[in-house]
Amino acid sequence: MKKWQFWVGVLISIVFLYFALRGLKLGDFWQAVKTANYWWILPGIAVYFVGVWARAWRWHYLLKPIKPVPTRVMFPITCIGYMGNNIYPARAGEVLRAVILKRREGVSVSASLATIIVERIFDGVVMLGFVFVNLPELAKLTGSSGFVGNIQQLALIGSGIFIGALVIFLLAAMFPQVTARAGVWFIYRLTPRKWHEKIISMMNKFLDGLASLRSPANVLMVFFTTVLIWLFETGKYWFVMHAFDFEVSFFALMLMNGIVNLATTIPSAPGYIGTFDAPGIAVLTSYGVKQSVAAGYTLVLHVALWLPITLLGAVYMAREGIKWSEALRKETDLNTKDQRV
């Protein structure tokens, strides 16, 4: 609570909430929420957890060259990580699951984080793909729909960032010795001597975590798995939509999914408050959905995405006999700092 990053995130969330709620008629919003058919959320949750299982399988696949950990073991750790992302700031859940995997399976945190970063890069590329599949529809996202900024320009910038990062990681994976030599050169010249041994060890473990990207077949497998994961999540958007009095195409929901998940990479309060909601409402209103209905749907969808995985992650964390104790917090913070050295 005392860290300035937390308060910056809260401020950003407040700004996004302002744009999400501006002009909203609360009576109409409450009517939309009150009259929704919430039975549709159940199949949505089921489809979503199939996607979470696919995420666990993808992580198992990326880690296989380091240590073959079964998907059934990865699934609870994946849920714990997403719980951490939902309730702690700065996506602490990513480091949390790397720490727990090290405690359970002995996989180094640096190698785990390498695979997690690869996951995030592939996620970003697929989300941008969802946006570009609906490129003609982007013209509808104007200031009148409540969207902040130029989505076409943001999509192009995001494409450059994610595709550039993917190319760098692929090159590092295919040429590990060259990458290691270049890394050592920079480490010797840019860091104090007392840190050299530790940073080089972390770098080597990190490069080990990229081993799965050395095969084009593996890269394609991870890419298609990532597409499948996000189609499952869009399926949840589709099921929850049927709880409300509106209908848009599956492609429109793909666009919404892509935009809101790219927006949640912006620092915010825990749970992506505001950064999820404002873009989601803007996409739907641009398709002619009434603001009150769009806001009700986006709120319910947000809760339906946040609550089940958070509760299940908390259950798994309790079963592991792990508490968010001072010791675990310090271990997570320490590993986070180690990655920044």
Q: Which has the minimum average pLDDT: 88-102, 299-313, 325-339?
A: 325-339
**Residue 315, number of CB atoms within 10 A of its CB:** 14
Residue 111 contacts residue 340 (beta carbons within 8 Å): no
| Mean pLDDT, all residues of the chain | 86
For 156, the domain range is 4-340
Give the model's pLDDT for residue 314. 92
Higher pLDDT, 239 or 87: 239
326 has a pLDDT exceeding 70: no
Q: What is the DSSP letter of 270?
A: T
Dihedral angle of Cα 113, 114, 119, 123, to the nearest 10 degrees = 100
Decide: residue 56, CB within 10 A, 0-12 exposed, 13-18 middle, 19+ buried: buried
5 has a pLDDT exceeding 80: no
Decide: residue 243, CB within 10 A, 0-12 exposed, 13-18 middle, 19+ buried: buried
86 has a pLDDT exceeding 80: yes
92 has a pLDDT exceeding 50: yes
DSSP 193-244: GGGHHHHHHHHHHHHHTTGGGGSHHHHHHHHHHHHHHHHHHHHHHHHHHTTS
Average pLDDT over residues 268-296: 91
Average pLDDT over residues 189-213: 84
143 has a pLDDT exceeding 60: no
Residue 154 contacts residue 263 (beta carbons within 8 Å): no
Give the model's pLDDT for residue 146. 53
The number of domains in the chain is: 1
**Residue 159, number of CB atoms within 10 A of its CB:** 16
Average pLDDT over residues 271-293: 91
Q: What is the DSSP letter of 2?
A: -
Q: Which has the minimum average pLDDT: 67-76, 117-126, 153-162?
A: 153-162
338: confidence class by pLDDT, cuts 50, 70, 90: very low
Give the model's pLDDT for residue 301. 97
Q: Map residue 276 onto helix, strand or coil.
A: coil
Residue 145 contacts residue 101 (beta carbons within 8 Å): no
Q: Which has the minimum average pLDDT: 6-10, 181-185, 229-233, 287-291?
A: 6-10
